[in-house]
Amino acid sequence: MTPVDAFDTMVLMGLKKESEEAKQLIFEKLSFDKNLFVQNFEVTIRLLGGLLSAYQLDGDKRFLDLAEDLGRRLLPVFNSTTGMPYIYVNLKTGETKGKVNNPAEIGTLMLEFGTLSKLTGNPVYFEKSKKAVVELFRRRSEIGLVGTTIDVETGEWKNTASHISGMIDSYYEYLLKAWKLFGDEEFKTMYYQSIAAVNKYLAEKTETGLWYGQADMLTGKQISSSFGALDAFLPAVLALGGDLERAVELQESVYKMWMIHGIEPEEFDYKTNQVKYPGYVLRPEAIESAYYLYIFTKNEKYLGMGREFFDSLVKYCRIEEGYAALKNVATKETSDQMESFFLAETLKYCYLFFAPDGVIDLDKIVFNTEAHPLKKTW
């Protein structure tokens, strides 16, 4: 997982020796012929997305062959009655499990499966991942919100809490980005309808600024004022969707949350001002949003924000062996953990603030949710 997730970051940074080593390692050792259950969403965004962007950046066809082999093995996830995917699939047997899934894991497959179809000429990946999203969107409530969990066999909602946090977050991101990458207007309509409901029922202005909380998807009634590190993806998406005003306002709140302890907590209650979960697992979202705002506004303030975020990573998370997640952002106690998204995303966005012009052109590429750049070559 790690060399694949990190490969394009190394390429963009011009780390030739390291990327060459990673490439050799991938071709020598990576095999999906394993009797193993994997989580479709994680494998799709990290491995399938990583292999596709590796292919587009490097040109070696073996990356695409690996991606196609993986894509074929993941396809059985869509064999539910509704067409929405199961959570897990066995890479060898095609057996599936996990029928209670969530919008993020159902709706964050389109960019990778769609790109695989475009690059291989086989439409099946695009069609199945699109049907999954459409089926999910169709089941939104009358006021336009989705819940946290849904049974992919019956189509029945199991948890009706609506929010922009983990388990829903990147569903919105991919509605917008699927339109940007494939030019498919149906995604455009689904995104703007969905984000209107999110802004109406989940956004809230308090004396500390603009925040997004949680509400019941059926009634729109607020159930929690929790905001967290994952929610910080939204300013980037709002900006990409053209709503710079809300993006700027929300990024102010994200910055405030980061500054409570000099590095952001996983969860925070914006009404009580209490940190609810004090860990930091090296997440990228706050940095990613600052990067998008820098690109879209050209305001140097976001460059400064990027530098501050990066400096705090170095100050609190750098250890001899790499970078460590924090158990507690107040005490800065580290844990023995570094997720691969730290290399795929967090460091990539940090670097891009200061990268030479032209390394990334947001008019030509779309980042998947794991920061793998996908290029519209079709």
Residues designated catalytic: 42, 169, 266, 285
- Is position 370 an interface residue for ligand DMJ (rule: CB under 6 A)? yes
- Is position 82 an interface residue for ligand DMJ (rule: CB under 6 A)? no
**Structure token digits, residue 44:** 């799709």
- Is position 289 an interface residue for ligand DMJ (rule: CB under 6 A)? no
- Is position 40 an interface residue for ligand DMJ (rule: CB under 6 A)? no
Q: Are 49 and 111 contacting, i.e. CB atoms less than 8 angstroms apart?
A: yes
Smallest gap, in angstroms, from Cβ of residue 29 to ligand DMJ?
A: 22
Beta-bridge partner residues of 117: none
- Is position 368 an interface residue for ligand DMJ (rule: CB under 6 A)? no
Which residue's structure tokens are 């809230």?
204
Rounded distance between C-alpha atoms, residue 81 and residue 89, angstroms: 16
Helices (H) and strands (E) in the chain, counts: 16, 20
Stretch that binds ligand DMJ, among 52-60, 118-126, 267-275, 283-291 (CB under 6 A): 283-291
Q: From the list 283, 353, 367, 373, which residue makes contact with ligand DMJ (rule: CB under 6 A)?
A: 283
Going across the sheet that includes 214-216, the strands are 161-162, 214-216, 222-224
Stretch that binds ligand DMJ, among 135-143, 205-213, 245-253, 278-286 (CB under 6 A): 278-286
- Is position 63 an interface residue for ligand DMJ (rule: CB under 6 A)? no
Strands 157-159 and 161-162: unpaired
Smallest gap, in angstroms, from Cβ of residue 104 to ligand DMJ?
A: 7
Which residue's structure tokens are 């917008």?
176
Q: Give 232 or 275: the residue with its C-beta nearer to ligand DMJ.
A: 232
Q: Give 108 or 214: the residue with its C-beta nearer to ligand DMJ.
A: 108
Rounded distance between C-alpha atoms, residue 367 and residue 361, angstroms: 11
Smallest gap, in angstroms, from Cβ of residue 24 to ligand DMJ?
A: 25
- Is position 115 an interface residue for ligand DMJ (rule: CB under 6 A)? no
Smallest gap, in angstroms, from Cβ of residue 339 to ligand DMJ?
A: 7
Site string for ligand DMJ, 212-251 (x = CB under 6 A): ------------------x---------------------
Query: Residue 278: how many CA atoms within 13 Å on its side-chain side?
Result: 13
Smallest gap, in angstroms, from Cβ of residue 255 to ligand DMJ?
A: 18
Site string for ligand DMJ, 166-205 (x = CB under 6 A): ----x-----------------------------------
Q: Are 120 and 68 contacting, i.e. CB atoms less than 8 angstroms apart?
A: yes
Smallest gap, in angstroms, from Cβ of residue 356 to ligand DMJ?
A: 25
- Is position 53 an interface residue for ligand DMJ (rule: CB under 6 A)? no
How many other β-carbons are positioned within 10 Å of the β-carbon of residue 59? 9
Decide: helix, strand or coil at residue 75: helix
Q: Give 49 or 306: the residue with its C-beta nearer to ligand DMJ.
A: 49
Rounded distance between C-alpha atoms, residue 236 and residue 295, angstroms: 10
How many other β-carbons are positioned within 10 Å of the β-carbon of residue 340? 18
- Is position 8 an interface residue for ligand DMJ (rule: CB under 6 A)? no
DSSP 125-186: HHHHHHHHHHHHHHT--TTS---SEEETTT--EEE-EE-SSTTTHHHHHHHHHHHHHH--HH
Beta-bridge partner residues of 88: 39, 97
- Is position 163 an interface residue for ligand DMJ (rule: CB under 6 A)? no
Dihedral (CA of 97, 152, 84, 228) sign: negative
Smallest gap, in angstroms, from Cβ of residue 344 to ligand DMJ?
A: 8
Residues contacting ligand DMJ: total by CB under 6 A: 10
- Is position 5 an interface residue for ligand DMJ (rule: CB under 6 A)? no
Stretch that binds ligand DMJ, among 110-118, 282-290, 291-299, 328-336 (CB under 6 A): 282-290
Indicate the helix (H) or strand (E) that contains 206. strand 203-206
Q: From the list 227, 255, 341, 353, which residue makes contact with ligand DMJ (rule: CB under 6 A)?
A: 341
Smallest gap, in angstroms, from Cβ of residue 284 to ligand DMJ?
A: 6
Helix axes 110-120, 124-138, angle to 10 degrees: 150
- Find the angle CA(165)-CA(239)-CA(210) to the nearest 5 degrees: 55
**Can you give the binding site for ligand DMJ, defined by CB under 6 A?**
45, 170, 230, 283-285, 341, 345, 369-370
